[in-house]
Amino acid sequence: MTGFAQGIRRAPVSGWWLLILIPVLFLGFFFFAPLINILRLSITATAIRTLFTRGYYGRIIWFTVWQAAVSTVLTLIVGFPAAWLFSHYRFRGQQWLKALTTVPFVMPTVVVAAAFRALLGANGLLNAWLMWLTGSDVPLIRLEQSIVIILLAHVFYNVTVVVRLVGGFWGNLNPRVMEAAQTLGASPWRTFREVTLPLLRPSLVSASILIYLFTFTSFGVILILGGPTFSTLETEIYRQYVTFLQPDIAAVLALLQIVFTFGLMSLYARWQRKTAVSLDFRPHQTNLQPVKTWRQRIILLIISSYLILFLVLPLLALVWRSLVDREGNLTLAYYTALPVLRRGSIIFVPPLTAVRNSIGYALLTVFSAGMLGVITASFLARPSRWRDWLEPLFMLPLGVSAVTLGFGYVITLNQLRTSPWLVLIAHTLVAFPFVVRTLLPVLQSIKPSLREAAAVMGASPWQVWREIDLPIIGRALLVGSVFAFTVSMGEFGATSFIVRPNSGFLTVPIAIERYLSQPGALNFGQAMAMSTILMLVTAVGFMAIERFRYADIGEF
């Protein structure tokens, strides 16, 4: 009977080998081939000499490095008090406030950039208030195309990484360790410095590496909020190819980007393995205490107030700016103008067509990324000697920026340069790893005995998957589909290379960036209206993920 059971376990695995070739070939053609082509194009004496002899590129690399470092430090400063609050206290509205910290992270970068333009721009909400209070006719705050607004947007975007990683780790620590130190005479500050902080160091370092990686590869925020004044490796790859028509220089910069991001991801993985030690963890809910004293209430009020103001105000400003004209009057003109193609418009299709295009791409991405994700996750969840190296292989797209991916496409798949299928391929490749990481933990939790029992009763491998696996992973598949939909709706980096403004396949993020780059109240208002629509779609998708995800299983 043992040999028969082992044969049953082997049969499904061998059946998956034919199907797993589909995602393997997809990665080979649409991920590794573009990267190899970037490597080939970048290895030229002229491009390498230009990169190392012109101080302009050195300044770009230096700015990319230090702005990411400053953004990381500021994010830790803003997020640490919130992580402490969520890990120590239970209070009314806690889950809503914690979900609020995650909303900015799932927002497309163009929406974040548009929100900060709506709040801190020359015609933004804050300037409107100050001009009304002081009676001034000119904006009193001038932060557009400044490093300040870039750093604020980065902190806004990444603060949830600190709350989730550090706060989640902190909330599971056994408080008896800290209580023992205080019993031995240590002050609260000394207990924190010598006991708590060393225990938190792994989560702090992991959060710092991730935030640095996200801000190092920032594209939409730098491009829209920094303008021509500031440039990072990401934006310079785009400008060198699109504006200056120098693909060899863009390729060298892309190669640097790839090396650095893979280095950071390797550092992150090694650090996690190195610091994976056994600690006395306790369930998070058992460590939470109710807010009782007036001092605790004041601290709760201060932290929750600055979180709400910092995280909600830019999004409210975005909605406000889409409903108010330059004179401060309520209007729906920016929304009613979306179906109309104006004479002299910066884009060549009505804005509403871009919305429809994005929804169409997103629905197709749900199907394609979902199909590839189900095949891959189902294979990886089964015993196989190839699983240990295939799993990181399928996760490699997470380590390459969408800008680099888009650049690789235009120099490799030139025959598809004007085809909408290339946009779908790019969106699928970006969303595919999210679907896999959502499904895989749930599939791995299925007991093998369930599949074996079905096989003993005569079920084929397909019937086993349909009758056993699919009902169990249904909710996780829904979450993965929502991930794919929202990722596709907000994808900007790769699409900015593929879709041209005169194309009929324009997407919402590209249209928003084009409108924001042009003067005029109507251009700005329509950008705000489309950003608001995209923000609402993303927020609804995030709420669906939180509602339907399989308990706390999953990595996103």
Residues 6+ apart with CB under 8 A from 389: none
Which tokens is 61 given?
A: 């690399």
> Considering Cα of 270, then 275, then 276, then 282, what sign does the dihedral take?
negative
Q: Which of 71, 413, 66, 409 is nearest to 233 (CA)?
A: 66
Sequential pLDDT tens for the chain (556 residues): 344 334 434 444 445 567 778 888 888 888 888 888 888 877 777 777 777 777 788 888 899 999 999 999 999 999 889 888 888 788 787 778 877 787 787 788 888 888 888 888 877 788 888 887 887 777 777 888 889 999 999 999 888 888 888 887 777 776 676 667 667 666 777 777 777 777 778 778 888 888 898 888 888 888 888 878 888 888 888 888 877 778 888 888 888 888 888 777 777 666 655 655 444 445 555 666 777 788 878 888 888 888 888 888 888 888 888 888 877 788 888 888 888 777 666 666 788 888 888 888 999 999 999 889 888 887 777 766 666 677 777 777 877 788 888 888 888 887 776 778 888 988 999 888 888 877 777 776 666 666 667 666 766 666 666 666 666 677 777 777 887 888 888 888 888 888 876 667 888 888 888 888 777 778 888 888 888 888 888 887 777 666 655 444 444 4
DSSP string, 487-505: HHHH--HHHHHH--TT-TT
Helix (H) or strand (E) holding 90: strand 89-90
Contact 420, 461 (CB under 8 A): no
Residues 6+ apart with CB under 8 A from 3: none
Angle, helices 294-323/109-120, rounded to nearest 10 degrees: 90
> What domains does the chain contain, in order, with CATH numbers?
1-43+340-556 (1.10.3720.10), 44-320 (1.10.3720.10)
